[in-house]
Structure 1
């Protein structure tokens, strides 16, 4: 009888562990942003579809004076943020923290990083190149880009990042230090405080979840 109880107990524990593992493996990140519910006709039947916001098409000049577009990030997970090279406040901490994620995934062609400079006057490609090199970026997996004020500031809203010229702010620009996780379909799947080491660890953890999602 005791042997039977032990067998049943072991089976129960194994089932719980298996169930927990299954639940862990099926964990998915939310899609962030206001969604639209639309009605359409498929095969003569009305169906309800959910449309999630996407990062729009873009075109910027990178640190190597090469035009990059949204297509360079097709079928990739990428992390985006906004900064400027002579920022005296949050940028140094944010970029050093993001460097941790870059170093972890360096060489993984399925993961990229995209930093937009909000100083469209000063941060020309050669300035961005010097900045990237000093930071420790030595491949094209992390892109540093510049563009017109309207293009950079306009797309920051799509990433849910606040950006503004402000002569009273340190360095003349004000912005939030979010790191934004984007999936293969250009959906936002996570937003993290780039100045907080624990938040960056959460970003890395969520990248792993997203990677698992695409392995299925």
Structure 2
């Protein structure tokens, strides 16, 4: 199997996940609200003398990375924000250019909206320094702090990608560019819950994402 075939074979799990999310979204369409994705745990507690069981949903944990401006970015930076997360690297020879063209559409669509942000994690921090990320953002025409490009400890980036955002992000010498990752855009709500996962390499997938951002914004106005 050549390197390109190997790369796409390792992303089959991502394609399966996208399909599953689409089915889940369809099942929840009648409620008018986007589903909350990921694992959930039943927690029993006593409220006013009565036993109540609530569902505690998977959420994005705290993190500490560094932005293209050289400052620290944590989960608190995204407090009270709806945001779109993705994983990429600046020298990526395959899907990253498509992803950034599509995420630029999201940036332009919601530019200036104080409730919406974008968070792009490099999965090649050895190369993608603060200076490299800043130049990359400038070349995309990104200004301000609505779209942050972050770097940091490689293992922590890979861990949060796979275990929290539910996407593939790992080193692989057989993959183009030496890293394998999905083309997913992940929609996260103000409570740090994942509300959707989309194919960030296609116009249709990103059209769905932008529509769902509008739906999520509307939820907070109810």
Give CA-to-partner distance per residue, 1:128-177, whole Å, 9 cap, x none. 00001111111210000001012101110210110111111111100001
2:206 matched to which residue of 1? 200
2:65 matched to which residue of 1? 60
Instruction: Please list every run of 5 or more consecutive structure 2 residues that lacks an aligned counterpart in the other structure.
Output: 1-28
Q: Report 1:36-75 matches (<5 A).
A: 36-75=41-80
Structure 1 position 26, deviation (Å): 6.3
Q: Indicate the RMSD between aligned Cα atoms, in angstroms.
A: 1.3
Partners in 1 of 2:73 and 2:30 — Cα distance?
Answer: 34
2:23 matched to which residue of 1? none
Partners in 2 of 1:33 and 1:67 — Cα distance?
Answer: 27
Structure 1 position 44, deviation (Å): 1.7
2:104 partner SS: helix
Using structure 1 for the length normalisation, give the TM-score: 0.87
1:107 matched to which residue of 2? 112
**Is it true that 1:27 corresponds to 2:32 in the alignment?**
yes
Partners in 2 of 1:112 and 1:77 — Cα distance?
Answer: 6
Partners in 2 of 1:71 and 1:103 — Cα distance?
Answer: 24
2:119 partner SS: strand
2:70 partner SS: coil
Partners in 2 of 1:212 and 1:110 — Cα distance?
Answer: 11
Instruction: Please list every run of 5 or more consecutive structure 1 residues that lacks an aligned counterpart in the other structure.
Output: 1-23
1:89 matched to which residue of 2? 94
Give CA-to-partner distance per residue, 1:113-137, whole Å, 9 cap, x none. 0000000210000000000111111
Give CA-to-partner distance per residue, 1:74-121, whole Å, 9 cap, x none. 011000000000000000001110100100111111100000000021
2:26 matched to which residue of 1? none
Structure 1 position 35, deviation (Å): 1.1
Using structure 2 for the length normalisation, give the TM-score: 0.85
Query: Residue 176 of structure 2: which of 170, 178, 203 is its match?
Result: 170
Query: Residue 187 of structure 2: which of 181, 186, 199 is its match?
Result: 181
Larger gyration radius, structure 1 or structure 2: 1
Alignment: residue pair count: 193
